[in-house]
Amino acid sequence: MATKETKQRGRPRSFDRDTALERAVRSFWEQGYEATSIADLTRAMGISAPSLYAAFGDKRALFDEVVAEYGRLYGGFISRAVAEEPTARRGVGRALREAAVEYTLPGRPRGCLVISAALNISPASAEVADFLREMRLSNIREIAGAIRADIAAGELPADTDSGALAGFVGAIIQGMSQQARDGAERTELAAIAELAMAAWPRTASGATA
């Protein structure tokens, strides 16, 4: 008879969990949440359905982990740019230019997983749609906070609408992601980034920040 210790320990995994997770990231990134089935995931990850459930939980639990891994490896550049640059204009400009690069890098799916995975989500997966929407809105709130700080510091005119300007940046980022998925090249997205920055409000002194 097996001992209690043996039953608790179970059989060791026959796959590398980190590698399997990275493959799951790519599956959801390429196909979106709704269109990616358990069969797609097990095929991409090279594991059986029981192994997937044992290691990651259900599809939703796996997706939550995928989004966290995506943010750690690929998607944190917007927050970093806004946090690290001294003005909102510098941070947004850096974020948009980096998006043109990140969204078109060879060897990985195009665009942003947090944007593209939300497409065509059914009402049954409303919690996933809300989760992804909150992530996108979080970036916009960070940008709006940086804009408000610039207004307070006199870097932007006092009548600048921080919410509208941050929403404009969010729309540009989301549009760049979709255009990348539609085949736009880095130079095309970089041109969009520069046009977006040309629309940035002038400082109170009349010069760009």
Sign for the CA dihedral angle at 120, 121, 122, 123 comes to negative
Tokens of 138: 């979080």
Contacts 24+ apart (CB under 8 A), 189-194: 189/99, 189/100, 189/103, 189/104, 190/97, 190/100, 192/96, 192/100, 193/93, 193/96, 193/97, 193/99, 193/100
Helix/strand/coil for 13: coil
- To which residue do tokens 């089935």 refer? 37
Q: Which residue has the higher pLDDT, 11 or 108?
A: 108
pTM of the model as a whole: 0.86
Give the integer Cα–Cα distance in Å for 55 and 65: 11
Q: What is the pLDDT of residues 123-160, one digit of tens each?
A: 888 999 999 999 999 999 999 999 999 999 999 999 99
Residue 77 confidence (pLDDT) above 80: yes
CA dist list (Å): 92 to 79, 82, 135, 141, 189: 10, 6, 17, 13, 14
**E-strand spans in 96-199?**
none
* pLDDT single digits (tens) 148-192: 999 999 999 999 999 999 999 999 999 999 999 999 999 999 999
